[in-house]
């Protein structure tokens, strides 16, 4: 058996002094020693040793699939490590469930909140550890305790408000309070900024610093470099299940971090050269409205146009009408008013099938639900939608498997889909490769108009970079592209113009090079009411 | 240049040879199947030599690796069902021991009766089951549960009997017409459930089940209209006999020692299974039905009509279940009985699940089901073990095979233990 050294050396790192130093000062509160987690097919964690000091903000940085979540789930008692030990306050521990972890003073705020929408803040916070008198919940006491904690840490939120009436930022705050209520000394935040606007992120950072000052130790799991630089004091970088680096933030640059995370130099900016002068728009939406059953507008008189070779970004907080917009364009939802035109032809009355034939390609936001038939093969997924066209079908509706295979194999090479064979099911692919299958299908149709809804959602930096370059290629080829994204960074990296959507309305049009993410963030949150659209032009 | 040409020539010669050998193996398999299903065990020899030739062919022309992977492919499909069957047999033995019956004696009788002595009964039992099983498996592929196959079975049976009486045509033409019109009528029985499903989303489990109930109790009325007379003892709950022109060919007409009841409906059923398999794997319609069945949303985004395909699947499922009734009337009974206990529709669900909705697999699971029934009766007659033990074994078998997650869970548990122990 190979002995795992307490602090394994990793390539190119000479800053191991930190750990020894920390040990000497006696500050470490949590430590993992050589944690290894072997899943049936992947080694998710390979001898990972990290150390968390009391009252510090530590980041764990890594791409998706680097093993961050596995490590945190081990700490939180959701998984058991294959080997290795966890030391909490100098004692070796072993959690068999999150309950143990909570009892030991660990709290976790998941990326997807675990809140009951119809209950109040107080009810959510005490859920599972209710203060009670003889089996009856003591709400007065509970409310008092919640107020005390929020006072102590400066996390203000109305204890009687229902969760469904709170903004995402406040919901997250409730999650943090939930952990603190259970006396968490160590708080693990999983991708805490994923759903927040820039303003909410700043507020969160303020809260995190306040918590640190009160002695709470914080671990932030993230794949965003900016966040690491902005908030944390120390960082560990994971790559493919291994620790690929660590250090003090003040000694590191963004480029160094990116390098350790991806293992090569990343181009963080896409080359955004347009093809010169703007052409006449080919795709128009006018006065488009979609109403909810009750009568509320999900989309309210949306108006936009896209020119060939242009990328128009739709920025907005999730749930402000983005999905209705793409469904309306694809004919998947009934529109109540308005027109959609492509190449001068009204398409809002056509079926989905006919719209595809008119030259619309669509990359849906939920690739597993709307983009792929996971149980079917990669090749079937590549030709679906054209499965009844020549050459994929012979006369009398017989499928030509040979042609399909040939075509799919060619596209698998063109789009760098990594798979042993195109006849395996799409479910067996990683997220990035699944997205490439969708891209292969949609881009190979040579669309006139391309609708992208969160094309890189949940993907790692490498895949994002690749997909962005393919999108730019489609732009060069002259496709008119409408990009819906929740990632402001993506909107800024790709689009020529930015439209901000808020509560179903396009509230602002901005030129990418004349605005800032801060300004866009303001409009996204309804910070400024609908101004004159012409201001942005 | 010349070398290259001869190379191509040799290659094409090899290809011709391979094709010829493949054809021979398929013919052997087909002939073997016909004889075996006709009750003649010489068919088994032809079947196994056909299979051996098929494998030898792969070995000779494509090498050892391909052969192994082909064998592996077939075995991997069989492994879960085989484990389930074995476990069910063992559980059955335990139950017999606990209740004081001799498992060895009982199983000997069960398997001898089902697969050897009364094999023809097994085949007769399996024939309608294959059709109803196909009906349910096909609907499953579209994400639908055609739980009312029983009703479509009765509609098919009634339509078969009615057309058999009415059409006075030469044999082959009469049979083809009865099948065509009868299965059409049975598929129409699913028209309203299909329409409701597409237009309002009414669940097919409820609607087809209600329609099944109606169809079943229409049959006594039908029987009275066509000769059934409860007042007489000769024709109490049965119609007149059909004219011989609409009878299916019996095996006895070309295999002299076949049982006189054994009819060629089983061959139609097997052909239907291969046809369904072909439709699903090799046609545009099959492709769309599978896409809709697996993921409606993704299909819709690609412009595939969900409603149209659900409609097609429901109608086709109705036609297949109807053929079960037609085959039973034209082949076995030559009249319609008021037999509301047969339950071919319900048993079709079992064989479809057991075959994990694979159409060709349905042939085998139906034969297994049929053999267990036939063997169970034989066992009950020759030993003292009650027939109900067979139903218990069937239940356990179904449970073990359908609950695939048990295996996944067990495998995980074993791995966990191993992983934990080795540290």
Neighbouring CB atoms inside 10 A of B3's CB total 6
Residue A11 backbone zone (phi > 0: left; psi -120 to 50: alpha; other: beta): beta
- pLDDT, residue B1, reads 44
Q: Which of A354, A362, A397 lies closest to B301 in CB terms?
A: A362
- 8 A C-beta contact, residue B158 and residue B219: yes
Cα distance between residue A20 and residue A413, in whole Å: 48
- pLDDT, residue B354, reads 87
Cα distance between residue B44 and residue A103, in whole Å: 67
Mean pLDDT (chain B) is 88
The average pLDDT across A241-258 equals 84
- Same domain membership, residue A467 and residue A525: yes
Task: Report residue B146: phi and psi, to 5°.
Answer: -80, 70
Task: Report residue A189: phi and psi, to 5°.
Answer: -110, 120
- Same domain membership, residue A346 and residue A378: no
Q: What percent of chain B has pLDDT over 90?
A: 54
- Same domain membership, residue A456 and residue A523: yes
Which residues, other chains included, contact A406 with Cβ-Cβ below 8 Å and sequence gap of 6+? none
Q: What percent of chain A has pLDDT over 70?
A: 88
Report A:83-122 residues touching B (Cβ under 8 A). 83
Instruction: Please check whether residue A239 lies inside any domain of the structure.
Output: yes
Any bridge partners for residue A284, and if so which? A305, A341
Neighbouring CB atoms inside 10 A of A3's CB total 6
The DSSP code sequence of A268-295 is -S------SSPPPP-EEEEEEEEE-TTS
SS (H, E, C) A81-142: CCEEEEEECCEEECCCCHHHHHHCCEEEECCCCCCCCCCEHHHHHHCCCCCEECCEECHHHH
Token digits for A386? Answer: 């054209």
- 8 A C-beta contact, residue A471 and residue A481: yes
- 8 A C-beta contact, residue A363 and residue A439: yes
Q: What is the pLDDT of residues A443-494, one digit of tens each?
A: 999 999 999 999 988 777 778 888 999 999 999 999 999 999 988 888 888 9
- pLDDT, residue B405, reads 63
Neighbouring CB atoms inside 10 A of A42's CB total 13
The average pLDDT across A119-129 equals 87
- Same domain membership, residue A535 and residue A393: no
Cβ–Cβ gap A373/B287 under 8 Å: no
Closest CA to A15 of A187, A209, A276, A249: A249
Task: Say if A373 is an interface residue toward chain B (CB within 8 Å).
Answer: yes
- 8 A C-beta contact, residue B359 and residue B351: no
The average pLDDT across A404-426 equals 91
Q: Is the peptide bond before B402 cis (omega within 30 degrees of 0)?
A: no
Cα distance between residue B70 and residue B243, in whole Å: 48
Among residues A417, A445, A473, the one where a domain terminates is A445
Looking at per-residue pLDDT, the higher value among B184 and A4 belongs to B184
SS3 of B188, please? helix
Does A265 score more than 60 pLDDT?
Answer: no
Closest-CA distance of chain B to residue A103, Å? 24
Token digits for A349? Answer: 């009355």
- pLDDT, residue B23, reads 92
Does B317 score more than 50 pLDDT?
Answer: yes
C-alpha separations of B265 from A449, B174, B330 in Å: 55, 15, 8
Instruction: Please check whether residue A143 lies inside any domain of the structure.
Output: no
- Same domain membership, residue A402 and residue A294: no
Residues of B in contact with A378 (CB under 8 A): none
Cα distance between residue B31 and residue A299, in whole Å: 65
Instruction: Please check whether residue A149 lies inside any domain of the structure.
Output: no
- Same domain membership, residue A245 and residue A96: yes
- Same domain membership, residue A352 and residue A474: yes
Residues of A in contact with B298 (CB under 8 A): 369-373, 384
Where are the domains positioned within chain B? 2-62, 102-384
Token digits for B392? Answer: 């218990």
Closest-CA distance of chain B to residue A291, Å? 21
The average pLDDT across A301-307 equals 92
Does B311 score more than 90 pLDDT?
Answer: yes
- Same domain membership, residue A453 and residue A353: yes
Does A1 score more than 70 pLDDT?
Answer: no
- pLDDT, residue A26, reads 55
Which long-range contacts (C-beta less than 8 Å, at least 24 apart) are formed by B336-342?
B336/B157, B336/B158, B336/B160, B336/B161, B336/B219, B336/B222, B336/B223, B336/B226, B336/B238, B336/B239, B337/B223, B337/B237, B337/B238, B338/B219, B338/B220, B338/B223, B338/B228, B338/B237, B338/B238, B340/B216, B340/B217, B340/B219, B342/B128
- Encode burial over B51-65: b for 16+ CB neighbours within 10 A, e otherwise: eebbbebbbeeeeee
Q: Chain A residue closest to B303 (CA)?
A: A353
The average pLDDT across B305-327 equals 95
Neighbouring CB atoms inside 10 A of A200's CB total 21
- CATH label of the domain that carries residue A92: 3.40.50.300
Q: DSSP alpha helices (H): ranges in A161-297?
A: 168-181, 198-213, 225-231, 254-262
Task: Report residue A425: phi and psi, to 5°.
Answer: -70, 150
**Parallel/antiparallel/unpaired status of strands A283-291 and A337-342:** antiparallel
Token digits for A314? Answer: 């739709």
CATH no., domain B102-384: 1.10.3470
Q: Which helix (H) or strand (E) holds B153?
A: helix B149-166
Which residues, other chains included, contact A133 with Cβ-Cβ below 8 Å and sequence gap of 6+? none
Cα distance between residue A149 and residue A126, in whole Å: 12
Does B144 score more than 60 pLDDT?
Answer: yes
The position carrying tokens 């209705």 is: A324
Q: Which helix (H) or strand (E) holds B70?
A: helix B64-98
Binned at pLDDT 50, 70 and 90, residue A16 comes out as: very low
Does B403 score more than 90 pLDDT?
Answer: no
- Same domain membership, residue A94 and residue A84: yes
Instruction: Please check whether residue A458 lies inside any domain of the structure.
Output: yes
Q: Which helix (H) or strand (E) holds B221?
A: helix B204-225
Residues of B in contact with A353 (CB under 8 A): 303-305
List strands edge to edge, sheet with A360-363. Answer: A360-363, A449-453, A480-485, A311-315, A497-502, A505-511
Report the number of secondary-structure helices (H) and strands (E) in chain B: 17, 0
Cα distance between residue B156 and residue B159, in whole Å: 5
Looking at per-residue pLDDT, the higher value among A132 and B276 belongs to B276
Closest-CA distance of chain A to residue B83, Å? 23
Mean pLDDT (chain A) is 84
Q: Which helix (H) or strand (E) holds B316?
A: helix B306-327
Instruction: Please check whether residue A122 lies inside any domain of the structure.
Output: no
Cβ–Cβ gap A384/B304 under 8 Å: yes
Binned at pLDDT 50, 70 and 90, residue A3 comes out as: very low
SS (H, E, C) A288-308: EEEECCCCCEEEEEEEEEECC
- Same domain membership, residue A82 and residue A229: yes
**Parallel/antiparallel/unpaired status of strands A83-88 and A91-93:** antiparallel
Token digits for A511? Answer: 């030129």
Q: How many Cβ pairs closer than 8 A exist between chain A and B? A: 76
In this predicted structure, which of B1-15, B261-275, B403-417 has the lowest mean pLDDT? B1-15
Does A15 score more than 50 pLDDT?
Answer: no
Cα-Cα end-to-end distance for chain B? 64
**B265 exposure class (CB count in 10 Å sphere: 0-12, 13-18, 19+):** buried
Q: Chain B residue closest to A357 (CA)?
A: B303
Total structural domains within chain A: 3
Neighbouring CB atoms inside 10 A of B42's CB total 13
The average pLDDT across B283-304 equals 94
Instruction: Please check whether residue A354 lies inside any domain of the structure.
Output: yes
Looking at per-residue pLDDT, the higher value among A210 and A276 belongs to A210
Closest-CA distance of chain B to residue A23, Å? 27
Cα distance between residue B45 and residue A43, in whole Å: 50
Binned at pLDDT 50, 70 and 90, residue B281 comes out as: very high
- pLDDT, residue A240, reads 77
Q: Which helix (H) or strand (E) holds A355?
A: helix A352-357
Q: What is the pLDDT of residues A33-46, one digit of tens each?
A: 888 988 766 678 88
Question: pTM for the whole thing?
Answer: 0.75
Cα torsion B54, B56, B57, B58: sign: positive
Q: What is the pLDDT of residues B88-142, one digit of tens each?
A: 999 999 999 999 889 999 999 999 999 999 999 999 999 999 999 999 999 999 9
Cα distance between residue A115 and residue A167, in whole Å: 13
Does A403 score more than 50 pLDDT?
Answer: yes
Cβ–Cβ gap A353/B299 under 8 Å: no
Cβ–Cβ gap A401/B303 under 8 Å: no
- Furthest-apart CA pair in chain B: how many Å? 89
- 8 A C-beta contact, residue A158 and residue A75: no
Cβ–Cβ gap A399/B302 under 8 Å: no
In this predicted structure, which of A64-68, A343-347, B21-25, B269-273 has the lowest mean pLDDT? A64-68
Cα distance between residue B180 and residue B193, in whole Å: 21
- Encode burial over A397-432: b for 16+ CB neighbours within 10 A, e otherwise: bebbeeebbebbbebbeebebebeebeebbeebebb
Does A18 score more than 50 pLDDT?
Answer: no
- Encode burial over A239-252: b for 16+ CB neighbours within 10 A, e otherwise: bebbbbbbbebeeb
Looking at per-residue pLDDT, the higher value among B224 and A306 belongs to A306
- pLDDT, residue A183, reads 87
Task: Say if A359 is an interface residue toward chain B (CB within 8 Å).
Answer: no
The average pLDDT across A329-350 equals 92
Does B214 score more than 90 pLDDT?
Answer: yes
Cβ–Cβ gap B284/A385 under 8 Å: no
Give the structural domain span for A395. 368-445
Does B421 score more than 60 pLDDT?
Answer: no
Cβ–Cβ gap B294/A374 under 8 Å: yes
Q: Which helix (H) or strand (E) holds B155?
A: helix B149-166
- pLDDT, residue A9, reads 44
């Amino acid at each position: 058996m190979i002995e795992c050294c307490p602090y394994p050396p990793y390539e190119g790192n000479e800053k191991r002094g930190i750990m020894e130093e920390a040990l000497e000062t006696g500050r470490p509160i949590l430590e993992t020693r050589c944690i290894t987690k072997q899943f049936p097919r992947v080694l998710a964690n390979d001898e990972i040793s990290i150390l968390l000091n009391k009252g510090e903000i530590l980041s764990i940085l890594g791409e998706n699939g680097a093993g961050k979540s596995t490590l945190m789930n081990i700490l939180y008692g959701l998984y058991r490590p294959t080997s290795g030990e966890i030391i909490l306050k100098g004692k070796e521990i072993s959690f068999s469930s999150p309950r143990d972890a909570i009892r030991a003073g660990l709290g976790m705020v998941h990326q997807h909140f675990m809140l009951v929408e119809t209950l109040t803040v107080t009810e959510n916070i005490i859920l599972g550890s209710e203060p009670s008198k003889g089996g009856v919940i003591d709400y007065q006491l509970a409310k008092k305790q919640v107020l005390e904690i929020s006072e102590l840490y400066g996390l203000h939120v109305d204890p009687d408000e229902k969760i469904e009436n709170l903004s995402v930022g406040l919901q997250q705050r409730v999650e943090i309070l939930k952990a603190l209520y259970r006396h968490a000394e160590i708080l693990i935040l999983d991708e805490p900024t994923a759903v927040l606007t820039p303003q909410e992120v700043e507020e969160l950072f303020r809260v995190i610093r306040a918590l640190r000052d009160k002695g709470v130790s914080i671990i932030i799991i993230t794949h965003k470099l900016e966040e690491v630089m902005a908030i944390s004091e120390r960082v560990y970088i994971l790559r493919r299940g291994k620790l690929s680096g660590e250090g003090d933030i003040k000694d590191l640059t963004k480029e160094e971090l990116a390098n350790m995370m991806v293992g090569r130099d990343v181009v963080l900016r896409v080359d955004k050269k347009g093809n010169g002068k703007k052409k006449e728009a080919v795709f128009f939406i006018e006065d488009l409205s979609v109403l909810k059953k009750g009568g509320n507008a999900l989309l309210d008189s949306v108006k936009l146009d896209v020119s060939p070779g242009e990328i128009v970004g739709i920025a907005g907080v999730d749930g402000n009408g983005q999905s209705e917009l793409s469904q309306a364009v694809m004919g998947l939802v009934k529109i109540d008013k308005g027109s959609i035109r492509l190449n001068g032809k009204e398409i809002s009355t056509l079926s989905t099938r006919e719209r595809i034939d008119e030259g619309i390609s669509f990359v849906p936001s939920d690739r597993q639900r709307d983009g792929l038939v996971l149980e079917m093969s990669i090749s079937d997924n590549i030709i679906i939608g054209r499965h009844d066209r020549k050459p994929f079908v012979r006369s009398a509706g017989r499928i030509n498997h040979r042609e399909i295979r040939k075509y799919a194999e060619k596209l698998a090479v063109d789009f760098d889909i990594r798979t042993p064979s195109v006849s395996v099911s799409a479910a067996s692919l990683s997220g990035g490769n699944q997205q490439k299958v969708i891209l292969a299908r949609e881009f190979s149709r040579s669309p006139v108009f391309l609708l992208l809804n969160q094309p890189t959602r949940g993907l790692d930096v490498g895949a994002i970079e690749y997909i962005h370059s393919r999108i730019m290629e489609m732009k060069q080829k002259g496709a008119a592209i409408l990009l819906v994204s929740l990632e402001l960074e993506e909107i800024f990296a790709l689009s020529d113009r930015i439209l901000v959507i808020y509560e179903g309305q396009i509230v602002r049009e901005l030129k990418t090079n004349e605005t800032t993410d801060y300004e866009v963030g303001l409009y996204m949150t309804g910070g400024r009411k609908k101004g004159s659209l012409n201001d942005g032009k | 240049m010349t070398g290259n040409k001869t190379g191509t020539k040799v290659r094409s010669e090899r290809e011709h040879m391979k094709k010829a050998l493949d054809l021979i193996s398929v013919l052997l398999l087909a002939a073997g199947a016909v004889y075996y299903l006709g009750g003649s065990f010489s068919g088994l020899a032809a079947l196994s030599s056909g299979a051996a030739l098929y494998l030898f062919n792969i070995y000779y022309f494509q090498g050892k690796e391909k052969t192994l992977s082909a064998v592996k492919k077939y075995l991997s499909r069989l492994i879960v069902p085989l484990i389930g069957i074995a476990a069910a047999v063992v559980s059955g033995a335990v139950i017999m021991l606990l209740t004081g019956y001799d498992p060895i004696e009982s199983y000997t009788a069960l398997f001898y009766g089902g697969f050897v002595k009364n094999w023809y009964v097994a085949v007769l039992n399996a024939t309608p089951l294959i059709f109803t099983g196909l009906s349910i498996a096909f609907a499953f592929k579209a994400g639908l549960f055609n739980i009312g196959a029983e009703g479509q079975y009765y509609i098919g049976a009634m339509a078969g009997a009615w057309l058999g009486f009415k059409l006075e045509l030469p044999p082959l033409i009469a049979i083809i017409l009865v099948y065509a019109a009868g299965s059409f009528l049975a598929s129409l029985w699913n028209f309203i459930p299909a329409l409701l499903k597409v237009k309002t989303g009414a669940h097919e489990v409820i609607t087809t089940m209600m329609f099944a109930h109606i169809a079943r109790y229409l049959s006594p009325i039908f029987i009275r209209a066509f000769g059934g007379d409860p007042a007489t003892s000769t024709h109490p709950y049965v119609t007149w006999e059909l004219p011989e022109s609409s009878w299916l060919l019996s095996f006895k007409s070309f295999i002299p020692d076949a049982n006189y009841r054994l009819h060629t409906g089983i061959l139609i059923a097997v052909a239907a299974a291969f046809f369904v398999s072909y439709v699903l794997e090799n046609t545009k319609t099959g492709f769309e039905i599978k896409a809709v069945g697996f993921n409606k949303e993704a299909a819709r985004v690609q412009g595939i009509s969900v409603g149209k395909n659900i409609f097609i699947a429901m109608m086709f499922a109705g036609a297949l279940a109807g053929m079960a009734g037609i085959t039973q009337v034209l082949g076995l009974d030559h009249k319609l009985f008021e037999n509301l206990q047969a339950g071919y529709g319900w048993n079709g669900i079992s064989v479809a699940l057991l075959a994990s909705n694979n159409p060709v697999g349905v042939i085998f699971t139906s034969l297994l089901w049929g053999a267990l029934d036939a063997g169970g009766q034989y066992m009950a007659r020759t030993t003292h073990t009650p027939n109900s033990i067979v139903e218990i074994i069937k239940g356990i078998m179904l449970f073990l095979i359908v609950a695939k997650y048990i295996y996944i869970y067990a495998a995980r548990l074993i791995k966990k233990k191993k992983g934990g122990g080795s540290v």
